[in-house]
């Protein structure tokens, strides 16, 4: 027996709760490890390596590593969970919800919030995080966490609840399409991941270009590196002009992830 619309609505709400709880927890960890103790504010130092005084020994600062790990976990959550979730909503959930007259204006505002998500995520992924102050980075993550929690609450209370009451809506089909899109989006990157951090520097570019040449038009792979691969970008421009798209998904502080697509 197929689940009812009400049961599917509960499943969507539960997934929203799981996502908001995860992002909120990561953000709280970031704030705990990244905001300096006010009692020590006379000697505040950044958590990122290039902003530490030369005499500082980062190896004895365990919060530094935890801070960096938390940033990267947040960015991975945003890229591999929140962004594809939002895109799936725009493709499959919102068009159906937009057919309900009383939801039209709300859907419009929800789409505007999706664009705000993209702008905030862009602050974390389009430039090196080593060039962003800790407090700005933490504030951006906090903004994302609060906005997403409010956004999910509106979606639960109004859109999902209202749609579940409409017997003409095949909620199960919508949910299936969303899950399929999210799974394919994430696997297209995680299954096509090229981590060159353990490779000898001399062989990295050869491996990267070899992987790119194996792609068919429209396919992509995820490059993972331990520094900003900007010189590689210019080499791509020279050797494959107008044949690739380059998108930073993570820009430090210790890991860089770039989505490279053949077009």
Per-residue pLDDT tens over the stretch 186-224: 888 888 999 999 999 889 999 999 999 999 999 999 999
Provide the Cα torsion 159, 160, 161, 167; round to 10°.
Answer: 110
Distance in angstroms (rounded) separating the CA atoms of residues 76 and 79? 5
**Per-residue pLDDT, 98:** 95
- The verdict on 88 and 215 lying in the same domain is no
We report the CATH number of the domain holding residue 116 as 1.20.120
Mean pLDDT of 118-137: 82
- Final residue before a domain boundary, out of 165, 190, 215: 190
Structural domain that includes position 24 = 5-190
- The verdict on 154 and 114 lying in the same domain is yes
- The verdict on 116 and 227 lying in the same domain is no
Provide the Cα torsion 165, 166, 167, 170; round to 10°.
Answer: -110
**Between the ranges 48-62, 100-114, 120-134, 184-198, where is the mean pLDDT highest?**
100-114
Q: Is the pLDDT of residue 99 over 90?
A: yes
- The verdict on 97 and 63 lying in the same domain is yes
Q: Is the pLDDT of residue 53 over 80?
A: no
We report the CATH number of the domain holding residue 201 as 3.30.110.40
Q: Is the pLDDT of residue 161 over 90?
A: yes
Q: Is the pLDDT of residue 63 over 70?
A: no
Count of domains for the chain:
2
- The verdict on 220 and 170 lying in the same domain is no
Which contacts of 155-162 are long-range, i.e. CB under 8 A and separated by 24 or more positions? Answer: 155/16, 155/89, 155/110, 156/12, 156/13, 156/16, 158/103, 158/106, 159/93, 159/94, 159/97, 159/103, 159/106, 159/107, 159/110, 160/9, 160/12, 160/13, 161/9, 162/97, 162/100, 162/102, 162/103
Q: Comparing 78 with 34, which gets the higher pLDDT?
A: 78
pLDDT tens digits, one per residue of 106-116: 999 999 999 99
Mean pLDDT of 32-44: 54
- The verdict on 160 and 221 lying in the same domain is no
Average the pLDDT over each of 31-40, 69-78, 86-95 and give the range with the smallest value: 31-40
- Final residue before a domain boundary, out of 190, 221, 254: 190
- Final residue before a domain boundary, out of 175, 190, 205: 190
DSSP code per residue over 169-217: S-HHHHHHHHHHHHHHHHHHHHTTEEE-TTS-HHHHHHHHHHHHHHPPT
SS3 (DSSP) at 261:
strand
Q: Please report which confidence band the pLDDT of residue 33 belongs to, taking 50, 70 and 90 as the band edges.
A: confident
- The verdict on 172 and 205 lying in the same domain is no
- The verdict on 184 and 207 lying in the same domain is no
**Per-residue pLDDT, 49:** 40
Mean pLDDT of 245-252: 91
């Amino acid at each position: 027996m197929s689940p009812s619309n009400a049961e599917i609505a509960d499943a969507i709400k539960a997934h929203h709760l799981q996502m908001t709880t995860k992002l909120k927890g990561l953000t709280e960890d970031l704030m705990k490890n990244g905001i300096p103790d006010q009692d020590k504010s006379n000697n505040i130092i950044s958590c990122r390596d290039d902003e530490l005084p030369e005499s500082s020994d980062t190896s004895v600062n365990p919060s530094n590593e935890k801070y960096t790990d938390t940033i990267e976990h947040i960015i991975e959550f945003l890229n591999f969970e929140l962004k594809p979730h939002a895109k799936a909503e725009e493709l499959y959930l919102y068009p159906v919800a937009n057919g309900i007259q009383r939801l039209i204006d709300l859907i419009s505002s929800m789409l505007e919030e999706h664009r705000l998500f993209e702008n905030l995520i862009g602050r974390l992924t389009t430039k090196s995080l080593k060039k962003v102050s800790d407090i700005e980075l933490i504030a951006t993550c906090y903004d994302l966490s609060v906005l997403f929690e409010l956004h999910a609450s509106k979606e639960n209370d109004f859109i999902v609840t209202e749609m579940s009451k409409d017997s003409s809506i095949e909620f199960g089909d919508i949910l299936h399409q969303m899950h399929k899109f999210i799974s394919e989006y994430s696997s297209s990157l995680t299954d096509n991941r090229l981590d060159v951090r353990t490779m000898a520097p001399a062989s990295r570019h050869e491996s990267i270009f070899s992987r790119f040449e194996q792609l068919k038009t429209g396919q992509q792979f995820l490059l993972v590196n331990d520094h900003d691969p900007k010189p590689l970008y210019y080499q791509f421009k020279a050797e494959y002009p107008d044949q690739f798209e380059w998108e930073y998904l993570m820009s430090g502080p210790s890991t860089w992830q770039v989505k490279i697509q053949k077009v």
